[in-house]
Chains A and B, each alone.
Chain A
Amino acid sequence: MLQVNDLHKKFKTTTAVNGVNLYLDQGESVGLLGPNGAGKSTTISMISTLLQPTSGDIRFKGGDVFKKPDVIRPVLGVVPQEIALYEELTAYENMHFFGKTYGLSGEKLKNKIDEVLELVGLTDRKKERVKNYSGGMKRRINIAVSLMHEPELLIMDEPTVGIDPQSRSHILEMVRELNRKKGMSILYTSHYMEEVERLCDRVYIMDHGQIIASGTKEELKSILSSEDTILIEVHQKSEQFIDQLNEHSLVQQIAEVDTGYKVIVSKGADVFADIFEIANASQVKVKGVHVQTPTLEDVFLHLTGRKLRD
């Protein structure tokens, strides 16, 4: 359905996208995972035909989207990272306006507005101006507007940034429903690995403008088949503790997490005794040590030496 080939985008002094290749099949839900500044939004802007690539091409159902933007625009829904709405207008007026720009009118338009408002759970608040909405409600209307014309392909750029858990959960559930029940193809970008893990069949991991890994979740996690992820929970953190762990021959990566440290070690390595010994030497009190099932976050850590939200 969507094919991106060797996509590059250079700005004056930086290369935002550097040879990205990806594809998306009909009905698939694909994640684009990467930290802020990885080039996800630039890639999406090019797929959405808003930004010309420096080189490379993007094909939708075989057609070049830059030579003929109309092959993709009528069936493309894009949820931008920003709240791209008229805040002085009500939710209903925003949906009415964008619905009309998509060519809907009359009863069809009214019915569609009601249907989408129901889907995003804002039917009762439809007559309030968007500027009075909470962050989560704005995000939901931001998505609703993109669904007015029943797109075949929905691109969502960090749709849950900065919102409350309840709205986040609602949005994730809605995306899953759109994909599973309505068969909508979804390209979902995020730096929240748990969202991508929950929603997507396949994942592209992006960093510094490049795709550094791709595949199904299981395929990506198998990258860590020869490693274990160990979570060390501590009372207080210590630079000396990290330095000494780094010097350990079996430790491959270390990242700070809220409760302590996440350490990737060679699979089956018996490092528990060493961890406690280093902790003692660094005067760090250990609350607990757990071996974890690898996550996409761990894969990213393994590949880049950084956390997704660094």
Chain B
Amino acid sequence: MWNLIRKDFLTISRDRSEVLILLVMPMVLIAILGFALGSIMFGTVDMDPIPVALIIENDLEQDLDHFREDLIAEGLPEQAIEQMIASAGTIDPAASLETVLHSPELSDMIDLKENYDQEQAEAALATDEVLAVITIPEQFSYQTLLAFYLAEETDASIELFVQDHEQIQATIVEGILTSFSDQYNLELSMAFATEGEGVETSISEENFGVINHFSSGKPVSAFQYYTIGMAVMFALYVASTVSSNAFKEKESHVFARLMMTGARPLNYLLSKVVSAVVLTLIQLTILFVTSTLFFQTFTDTGIEFWASLAIISFVFSLVIGGFAAFMTAIAIQFNNDAISGFFSGGAVVIFAFLGGSLSPVEYFSPLMRELGNWTPNGAMMTAYLQLIQGFNLTEFLPMLYRVLLMAVLFITLAVAIFPKRRLM
């Protein structure tokens, strides 16, 4: 068996085009995608602060008076009303937004201009003097307080005008507002749930420009994402390489010669499984280590992280081995290597797309995401990313079981298809 595996390793490692596909291309793509797309889609944005006009038409004192009148009309006791007014004064959304926009974390991103009125701001927007205008309209605090304290339906909203041709900056400002809004609502709700503890808005640069696939966990950097994405994509090529090599053996009559030496057909098939497993493990190891050395992808991680990475990689390599055996069986049985060509020529890209190797699955519909998780690479990508985010092995075990099941299925099919008697 080892003799067959060693032979596979030697023949594939000496084929320059295979080495190029299996090792060089993913590394090049990791570098390109990590540097090029990372700054836009993932990491911090290296650009000048965005000029943003902030117009506050809202008057807190007036709104609180207005709110007090409503509470009196509701017939609440005076003491309760005073408590609510005092509390309402501390949760003014307009002040919170101002605080956030002035925060040191956003000062590198936002150049806030507050000396405009609405008309001046719109003129400045038209001349690109500012790229966005945020308006807190009249009675905004009042409407918000009604919504929170009296559960009334209101139309409290912050207005945002952006310059259309500056999409990235516009998206960033929009993202900040959305994030502020979500955070504010969440924390206010929590404050109410904890019976009026003080509200603290916390918004920082880390909340923007990072991938958050999951409800919690550490953010994933662009290089981490694309190292995993390219690794799981190009590992698929190992399967087609191994099966294509098997077909070459058949075509050149080496397979027949091997069978005449007394080698068992199923041993030969099993050797293809093991070859693909070993080659995938070697490929993944080289990619992860090289990416870490060049791009500091997995630095600051402990032995536990690398052990879990090894476990996921091993499970992934098993399914690649199964798939290699499945394609080998079809190619040998039907004397046709079209399946390897179809797989490497098109199916890998489709799998890679569905699995999230080419673009983050957070942009996909829930159906597409689920579909991606049923591809071996997609399921494993999810497991890898969960590991990076700090999840425990037990939390992504279902993904590992799913892929193990796929491996068993592929191997079973391969054994059923592979010819046992006809050897030419």
> Which A residues are within 8 Å of any B CB, using their own CB?
45, 48-52, 70, 73-74, 76, 78, 80, 82-86, 88-89, 93, 97-98, 100-103, 129, 145, 149
Contact = CB atoms under 8 A, between A and B. Distances in A.
A74 B262 contact: yes
Contact of A98 (B6, B252, B257, B423): B257
19 contacts: A48-B256, A50-B256, A50-B260, A51-B423, A51-B424, A73-B260, A73-B262, A76-B260, A78-B257, A80-B256, A80-B257, A84-B252, A84-B257, A88-B14, A93-B10, A100-B3, A101-B4, A101-B261, A145-B257
Report, as a range, how many residues of chain B touch the other chain. 20 to 34
B15 interface: yes
A102 B261 contact: yes
Given A80-B257, A82-B253, A98-B257, A52 B421 contact: yes
B7 interface: yes
A269 B259 CA distance: 56
Nearest to A42: B424
B260 A48 contact: yes
A103 B263 CA distance: 10
Nearest to A86: B11
Contacts of B421: 52
A102 B3 CA distance: 11
B165 interface: no
A-B pairs, top 8 by smallest CB distance, nearest first, are A84-B253, A101-B261, A100-B3, A88-B14, A84-B257, A82-B253, A50-B424, A88-B11
> Which of B7, B15, B252 has the most CB atoms of chain A within a 10 A radius of its CB?
B7
Contacts of B252: 82-85
A50 B259 contact: yes
A212 to B, nearest CB: 26
A211 B323 CA distance: 46
Contact of A52 (B4, B11, B422): B422
- What is the interface of chain A mostly: helix, strand, loop, or mixed? loop
Interface in B1-44: 3-4, 6-7, 10-11, 14-15
Contact of B261 (A52, A73, A82, A85): A73
A93 B423 CA distance: 24
A45 B424 contact: yes
A48 B252 CA distance: 17
Given A50-B423, A97-B3, A85 B254 contact: yes
Given A52-B421, A80-B257, 20 more contacts: A48-B256, A48-B260, A49-B260, A49-B423, A50-B259, A50-B423, A52-B422, A70-B262, A73-B261, A74-B262, A76-B260, A78-B260, A85-B252, A88-B15, A97-B7, A98-B261, A101-B3, A101-B4, A101-B258, A101-B263
A17 to B, nearest CB: 14
Contacts of A149: 261
A98 to B, nearest CB: 7
A76 B261 CA distance: 8
A103 B262 CA distance: 10
Contacts of B14: 88-89, 129
Contacts of B260: 48-50, 73, 76, 78
Contact of B7 (A50, A83, A89): A89
A133 to B, nearest CB: 15
A132 B376 CA distance: 40
Contacts of A76: 260
Nearest to B423: A50
Nearest to A81: B253
Nearest to A105: B3
